[in-house]
């Protein structure tokens, strides 16, 4: 178990540090580079985990057979009572194998894996169903790896902080590099083969690649620094996480995709909602929002000073320089700081009821503002097939493709990652050439909506299991802020995005961390240790009080009890 704990910690480091930062020195074939690293790293660690688990299980079975045989069995006669030692070994065996006490989240993740296997076996596109579509690789093998990540982390993570700390540092490095790219600066030389007028110059970002890939990655990765800043009891840790959180949200807002703007707003809204009953969380969310609102126009002004290369780095179809440089951001930053100061003054005067009213009111106003902004955005989008940069037509084709299939196909789908194989063989060329400009004649490997994509690929069964993962995960993670943020942000990104090796493994990693945390909290042994620790603290406090009584209220501490 010590080996598996170490292996799990190192794997988390590889997934959160090596995978997002490694590029091979170029953007060319970056998707293949990232996926091969993910596949090799995950395959190796999962195989070692399974081998170690089987070895330990066999060893425990042999030990139990030896201890339960011979003279002890004869002495026991026909008694069926299990000795404490044997019960402990059986309990340990089941714990190592990871089958003791399945939660609803475990069941849905395992069911999702079963739906993937069934869909791949029944698919007409066998190779694609298992290995995935060319240059995308989200087939059955990758889907089963996602399931394996969840169970590996949930059963073998030992709770040490260094893997997540290193992952947060890697996220900060990626965010800083991305902000520099948006300023026209390229310290790693990844843009050396592109001119300022190229599409790649404005749509490739940091070490993550396409801005949509970055949105998917950031939707999960930003949850850790933000949750740490809001919840960590150590002040110095919060001050370290504040620039990480602000820089990540700033890049998410300015990176060029409308999805990033939506995710930034959702992140702040979820934090405000979680802080409606917690004064400290609400105030820190306001402080986080103030820093973000202050830096948005600062970035715009700095980019204007740096010249044409910085201005060309922002995509032409993004939020735009006028919106970034608007004076409203200064007013929003001042309002957020003013409200934070007001809550602090009310806290000093012990006006708890007034504080609560202020939190509830100002948690609702941003929600109303975001709703109005979303309505304006939707109204301004072109109607029909060109909605969402052509997603309207793609979603229409996906729904029609699902409805064309037989009842077995509707139930289990066409096969994992077989969207392109099925759609382009079932529809005429005239029906599929609906894009114009750069993307005219492109082959779409997925529906650019995870739920429609799963509906075509995995059918009603796989989509239902995937939805069950989100619902049961939300219930299981309701007291784990990184899990809440990751599910909310990834769920929002999935409405216009897709599965990929930079984001979906991180989602299953977060779910595994949440399940691991809950299993540790529900463990009888850990609860016993917590009770003993609490009794020790109570004993210490009572001893200190008695010493103060004996020594005239002095500050003497009983060293023996300490």
Structure token digits, residue 448 = 């650019």
Report which DSSP code applies to 209: E
| pTM (two decimals) | 0.85
Cα distances from 352 to residues 26, 355, 364, in angstroms, run 55, 5, 19
How far apart are the C-alpha atoms of 91 and 361, rounded to whole Å?
50
Compute the residue count for the chain: 562
Read out DSSP for 442-468? PPPSS-SSHHHHHHHHTHHHHHHHHHH
How far apart are the C-alpha atoms of 238 and 492, rounded to whole Å?
27
Structure token digits, residue 340 = 């934070």
Q: What angle do CA 449, 452, 457 make, to 5 degrees?
A: 115
How far apart are the C-alpha atoms of 410 and 427, rounded to whole Å?
17
| Other CB atoms within 10 A of residue 434 CB | 16
- Give the start-end residues of each E strand in 73-211: 204-205, 209-210
**pLDDT score recorded for residue 528:** 57
How far apart are the C-alpha atoms of 412 and 462, rounded to whole Å?
7
* Cα dihedral 318, 323, 329, 332 sign: negative
* Cα dihedral 487, 491, 497, 499 sign: positive
Q: Which residues contact 235 (CB under 8 A, 6 or more apart)?
A: none
Cα distances from 252 to residues 215, 219, 221, 491, 498, in angstroms, run 7, 9, 11, 16, 17
How far apart are the C-alpha atoms of 157 and 104, rounded to whole Å?
20
Structure token digits, residue 435 = 């894009």
Q: What angle do CA 523, 529, 532 make, to 5 degrees?
A: 140
**pLDDT score recorded for residue 88:** 44
**pLDDT score recorded for residue 163:** 96
The answer to whether the CB of 466 falls within 8 A of the CB of 453 is no
Structure token digits, residue 262 = 């939506």
499 Ramachandran zone, left/alpha/beta (phi>0; psi -120 to 50): beta
Q: Tell me the sheet residues that pair with 205.
A: 209
Structure token digits, residue 504 = 């979906």
The answer to whether the CB of 230 falls within 8 A of the CB of 281 is yes
Tokens 């970056």 found at: 30
How far apart are the C-alpha atoms of 513 and 502, rounded to whole Å?
17
The answer to whether the CB of 555 falls within 8 A of the CB of 545 is no
The answer to whether the CB of 448 falls within 8 A of the CB of 161 is no
Q: What angle do CA 416, 421, 423 make, to 5 degrees?
A: 105
pLDDT tens for each residue of the chain, 562 residues long? 889 999 999 999 999 999 999 998 889 889 999 999 999 999 999 999 999 888 888 888 888 888 765 544 444 444 444 444 444 444 433 343 344 578 999 999 999 999 999 999 999 999 999 999 988 899 999 999 999 999 999 999 999 999 999 999 999 999 999 999 999 899 998 888 888 878 888 889 999 999 999 999 999 999 999 999 999 999 999 999 999 999 999 999 999 888 898 899 899 989 988 887 788 888 899 899 999 999 999 999 999 898 888 888 888 777 778 889 888 899 989 988 888 887 777 766 666 666 666 666 666 666 666 666 666 566 666 555 555 556 778 888 899 999 998 999 999 999 999 999 998 888 876 666 555 555 555 678 888 899 999 999 999 999 999 999 999 999 998 889 999 999 999 999 999 889 999 999 999 999 999 999 999 887 766 555 555 555 554 544 444 434 434 333 333 333 333 3
**pLDDT score recorded for residue 98:** 41
Report which DSSP code applies to 154: H
The answer to whether the CB of 390 falls within 8 A of the CB of 439 is yes
Give the side-chain half-sphere CA count within 13 A for 160. 16
Structure token digits, residue 415 = 């096969």
320 Ramachandran zone, left/alpha/beta (phi>0; psi -120 to 50): left
How far apart are the C-alpha atoms of 322 and 345, rounded to whole Å?
36
- Exposed, middle or buried, 419 (CB in 10 Å: 0-12/13-18/19+)? buried
178-195 CB burial, b ≥16 within 10 A, e <16: bbbbbbbebeeebbeeee
How far apart are the C-alpha atoms of 291 and 165, rounded to whole Å?
22
């Amino acid at each position: 178990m010590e080996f598996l704990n170490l292996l799990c910690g190192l794997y988390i480091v590889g997934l959160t540090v090596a995978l997002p930062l490694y590029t091979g020195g170029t953007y060319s074939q970056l998707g293949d580079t990232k996926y091969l690293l993910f596949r090799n790293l995950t395959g190796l660690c999962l195989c070692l985990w399974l081998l170690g688990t089987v070895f330990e299980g066999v060893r425990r079975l042999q030990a139990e057979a030896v201890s339960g045989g011979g003279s002890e069995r004869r002495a026991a006669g026909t008694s069926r009572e299990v000795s404490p030692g044997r019960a402990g070994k059986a309990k340990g065996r089941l714990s190592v194998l990871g089958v003791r006490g399945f939660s609803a989240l475990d069941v849905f993740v395992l069911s999702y894996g079963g739906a993937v296997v069934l869909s791949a076996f029944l698919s007409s596109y066998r190779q694609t169903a298992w290995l995935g579509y060319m240059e995308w690789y989200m087939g059955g093998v990758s889907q089963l790896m996602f399931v394996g990540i969840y169970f590996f982390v949930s059963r073998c993570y030992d709770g040490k902080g260094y893997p997540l700390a290193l992952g947060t540092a890697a996220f900060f490095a990626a965010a800083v590099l991305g902000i520099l790219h948006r300023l026209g600066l390229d310290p790693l030389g990844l843009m050396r083969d592109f001119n300022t007028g190229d599409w790649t110059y404005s749509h490739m970002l940091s070490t993550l690649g396409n801005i949509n890939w970055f949105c998917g990655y950031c939707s999960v990765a930003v949850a850790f620094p933000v949750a740490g800043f809001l919840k960590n009891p150590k002040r110095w840790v919060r001050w370290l996480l504040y620039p990480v959180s602000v820089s990540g949200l700033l890049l998410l807002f300015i990176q060029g995709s409308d999805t990033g703007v939506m995710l930034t707003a959702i992140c702040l809204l979820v934090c405000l909602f979680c802080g409606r009953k917690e004064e400290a969380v609400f105030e820190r969310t306001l402080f986080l929002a103030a820093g973000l609102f202050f830096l948005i126009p600062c970035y715009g002004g700095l980019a204007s000073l740096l010249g044409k290369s910085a201005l060309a780095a922002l995509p032409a179809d993004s939020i735009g320089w006028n919106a970034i440089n608007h004076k409203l951001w200064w007013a929003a930053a001042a309002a957020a700081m003013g409200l934070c100061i007001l809550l602090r003054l009310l806290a000093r005067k012990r006006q708890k009821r007034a504080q609560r009213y202020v939190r509830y009111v100002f948690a609702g106003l941003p929600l109303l503002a975001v709703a109005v902004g979303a309505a304006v955005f939707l109204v301004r989008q072109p109607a029909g097939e060109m909605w969402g940069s052509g997603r309207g037509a793609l979603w229409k084709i996906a729904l029609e493709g699902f409805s064309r299939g037989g009842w077995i196909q509707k139930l289990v789908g066409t096969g994992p990652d077989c969207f392109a194989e099925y759609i382009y063989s079932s529809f005429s060329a005239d029906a599929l050439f609906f894009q114009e400009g750069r993307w005219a004649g492109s082959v779409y490997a997925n529906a650019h909506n995870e739920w429609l994509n799963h509906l075509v690929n995995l059918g009603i069964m796989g989509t239902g299991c995937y939805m069950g993962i989100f619902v049961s995960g939300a219930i299981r993670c309701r007291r784990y802020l990184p899990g809440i943020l990751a599910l909310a942000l990834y769920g929002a990104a999935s409405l216009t995005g897709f599965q990929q090796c930079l984001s979906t493994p991180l989602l299953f990693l977060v779910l595994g961390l949440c399940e691991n945390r809950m299993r540790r909290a529900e463990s009888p042994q850990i609860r016993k240790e917590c009770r003993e620790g609490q009794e020790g603290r109570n004993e210490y406090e009572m001893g200190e009080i008695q010493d103060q009584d004996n020594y005239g209220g002095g500050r003497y501490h009983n060293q023996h009890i300490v």
